[in-house]
Amino acid sequence: MFVRTWDGWVTASWTHLPMISAPFADFTWRHARRLATQAGRDDTNETEVARVLDELNRHQISARRGAII
């Protein structure tokens, strides 16, 4: 994962990289947090939000292929 700082880009390790290997932006993470809240899940738990983000990614991939999850 890369984080932009005043000095440029910094590589940072992320615990959930095996679960979420597709790139995403901050607004995508915030959207996943909102969805987690709406579903009654803990939006303060990074693992739970990562699961929601993974579900979003899998749904998008399936939709592109014409499949329904």
Query: Which own/partner pairs from 7-15 qualify as long-range (CB within 8 Å, at least 24 positions apart)?
Result: 15/46, 15/47
Q: What share of the chain is helix, strand, coil (3-state, %, to 5)?
A: 50, 10, 40
Give pLDDT tens digits for 4-58: 899 999 988 878 878 887 788 889 999 999 999 999 999 999 999 999 999 988 8
DSSP classification of residue 6: T
The pTM of the full predicted model, rounded to 2 decimals, is 0.70
Q: Which two tokens stand for residue 67?
A: 């499949």
